[in-house]
Structure 1
Amino acid sequence: MRGSRAMELPEDFWIPVPLDTNNITALSPFLVPQDHLGDVSLFYGMAGFMFFIFIFGTAINVLTIATTIQYKKLRSHLNYILVNLAVANLLVAGAGSFTAFVSFSARYFVFGTLGCKVEGFLATIGGMVSLWSLAVVALERWLVICKPLGQFIFKPDHALACCALTWVFALMAALPPLFGWSRYIPEGLQCSCGPDWYTTNNKYNNESYVMFLFGFCFTVPFTTIVFCYSQLLITLKMAVKAQAESASTQKAEREVTKMVVIMVLGFLVCWLPYASFALWVVNNRGQTFDLRLATIPSCLSKASTVYNPFIYVVFNKQFRACMMEMMGMGSGSDEESSTSKSVTEVSKVGPA
């Protein structure tokens, strides 16, 4: 039985260090602690970090959904997209951060090979929906404020259709590893699972899958975000020039410029390390790398469940005011009125 298990393990996981194939069972990430990959303190530190991400990521995203349900005035096309983002974040927090916390605490992936596939699949879906939702938010802002389509009005139905499309795109990314195009295996310190971008096994065509993810699931959304927000900044510059005496318009420009920078940086912090590291591994086969470094991109992507809501929800004055009111911390109606006025003034610059 032990020898049979040793023959099966290379199909289930891969570690880029020399191994004794006669004793590979002793190092299985599904059976024993992976102390040979890092200090025990590192595993426990990562467990603590994942626990923090799980607790706060779950709390802020549940609060986002609850606030939207509580206040009808928040049920706008933009906020539908933010709720879609919150649902995706909850999926990542539950399927990704929590399982990583448990596994880092045990120092190996305790949920087995089937659990690895389930976690990898669900976390990938949540991550891809989150990623595409960020692109949809940028697209919505461009259509509403810059008015490139003239009198076209971005309605709630359009927002719901875009949200549905994010799940379609996510399934396009998450399903292939379940059917032989790549696969889900333990990654980094072997305590969380994701698509296989380590191996060169031609059976799974990992290189082409990684290139697909990099091109369709990173480059396209990132290009959309950069284009839409750059156009938004140009529109704001036009607003300031046309209304040079308006202090509120100038204030709106400063606020939105700051937000655009934060949004783009947040996207890059979340996804650039993962995409870049996977692409580097694919194009540098045979090169050694530290598995501890391979864990960082995965953790940063999971951390997006916390900092994305802060960027897109907590910094949204209307949402923040309603959250504070729901928690009995004040109303903030003045902030909401001020924000509405600034956005109205800026939107007047768009083409008719």
Structure 2
Amino acid sequence: MHKMRPDSKVQELPEDFYIPIPLDTNNITSLSPFLVPQTHLASPAVFMCMAAFMFVLMIAGFPINALTIACTVKYKKLRSHLNYILVNLAIANLLVATVGSFTAFYSFSNMYFRFGPLACKIEGFVATLGGMVSLWSLAVVAFERYLVICKPVGNFSFKSTHAIIGCVVTWVFSLIASVPPLFGWSRYIPEGLQCSCGPDWYTTNNKYNNESYVMFLFCFCFGLPFSVIVFCYSQLLFTLRSVAKAQEQSVSTQKAEREVTKMVVVMVMGFLVCWLPYASFSLWIVLNRGETFDLRLASVPSIFSKASTVYNPVIYVFMNKQFRSCMLKLVFCGKSPFGEEEDVSSQVTQVSSVSSSQVAPA
């Protein structure tokens, strides 16, 4: 078991990578993650398991997200304001699946980052950008549901223009978060088992100010969108609960509350499964300088975050009857394999089955 102690007595190439080096090794190039397999960090079996997992994410994430975009282009009925945000989420997921997941799969298969330092920076930037867009898109979806269902500002109509503005905001915020390492505030280097790239969590280098950047990411790109998601969905649940209580005899209202409760729990849990390990790991590294940790475990948060490319469309798209029906029609040439076509009048969540007047606060 090879463990790493951040900023311990190691040799380092500050511009390209950071890995622990045995004290009797004088030539750091001999262990470069860009030149040789990193079998000194873990056994080949570990690398192959990681490669297999990334392969699953790649072959599952690409078609799901590509279908989401293709269906929206083909079917006009899918071009609603909320679905614009889901397409934005699919574009971000597709970016991560095609660049991040593929690069990690190929690198784990070779047991080192074979593409070189420049590609590492590109992959780190693209994966970070796509991940941040995904995070902020989830927050925008939650905020849209809050505005439409809970009506905190009265009879506000969320239109396509608002959705487009929300999508633009996700990319602006994500660029603010992902561009700095390209210009000296932190840096993109191989992480964990050195087969995927991300921000430098490991070193305390005054030149890069890594610690401040990690704290910035944790607060701005995890804490803030997570707070928005929890607040908006909790308010949505409270609103639906009050409606259900006031209409105890209404079977449809009671059913809507149960469905929404289930979906909200799945959405929040999916968010935490994908992003909490990565956010917690980076924060732990910063707050526990000098503590040792297993490099194999350090790769787990990274691949879990990339798993959002599969979790998100399953939660937000496959649970949407509109998208599910259109996907089946597109894949099976206009015919559903399950016989009668599903009702495609519902919106993204079953909340929409309850009218706005029913769920408006008293």
TM bucket normalised to smaller: over 0.9
TM-score by length of 2: 0.92
Q: Within 5 A, what are the aligned runs for 1:154-173?
A: 154-173=158-177
**Partner of residue 142, structure 1:** 146
**Partner of residue 301, structure 1:** 305
Amino acid at match of 2:250: S
In 1, Cα distance between equivalents of 2:91 and 2:39: 35
Q: Within 5 A, what are the aligned runs for 1:42-81?
A: 42-81=46-85
* CA RMSD, 1 decimal: 1.9
Amino acid at match of 2:53: F
**Partner of residue 23, structure 1:** 27
**Contact 1:80/1:160 (<8 A) preserved:** yes
**Partner of residue 3, structure 1:** none
**Contact 2:191/2:198 (<8 A) preserved:** yes
SS of alignment partner, residue 36 of structure 1:
coil
Distance 1:17 1:240, change over 3 A: farther
1:209 and 2:213 are equivalent in the alignment:
yes
In 2, Cα distance between equivalents of 1:310 and 1:129: 17
How many angstroms does 1:316 deviate by? 1.1
Deviations for 1:88-107, whole angstroms, at most 9, x for unmatched residues? 00100111000001101110
**Partner of residue 336, structure 1:** 344
Q: Report which stretch shifted further, 341-350 or 237-246.
A: 341-350
Identity %: 71
Distance 1:342 1:217, change over 3 A: closer
1:36 and 2:13 are equivalent in the alignment:
no
**Partner of residue 117, structure 1:** 121
Unmatched segments (≥5 aa) in structure 2: 1-9
Distance 1:27 1:116, change over 3 A: same
SS of alignment partner, residue 185 of structure 1:
strand
More helix by share: 1
Counterpart pick for 1:132 among 108, 129, 136: 136
In 2, Cα distance between equivalents of 1:84 and 1:29: 34
TM-score by length of 1: 0.94
In 2, Cα distance between equivalents of 1:342 and 1:200: 48
In 2, Cα distance between equivalents of 1:53 and 1:288: 29
Aligned length: 347
1:345 and 2:323 are equivalent in the alignment:
no
Deviations for 1:27-49, whole angstroms, at most 9, x for unmatched residues? 10000000011110111111111
**Contact 2:132/2:177 (<8 A) preserved:** yes
Counterpart pick for 2:242 among 238, 249, 268: 238
**Contact 1:57/1:93 (<8 A) preserved:** yes
Distance 1:49 1:334, change over 3 A: closer
In 1, Cα distance between equivalents of 2:283 and 2:164: 33
**Contact 1:188/1:293 (<8 A) preserved:** yes
SS of alignment partner, residue 117 of structure 1:
helix
1:272 and 2:280 are equivalent in the alignment:
no
SS of alignment partner, residue 153 of structure 2:
coil
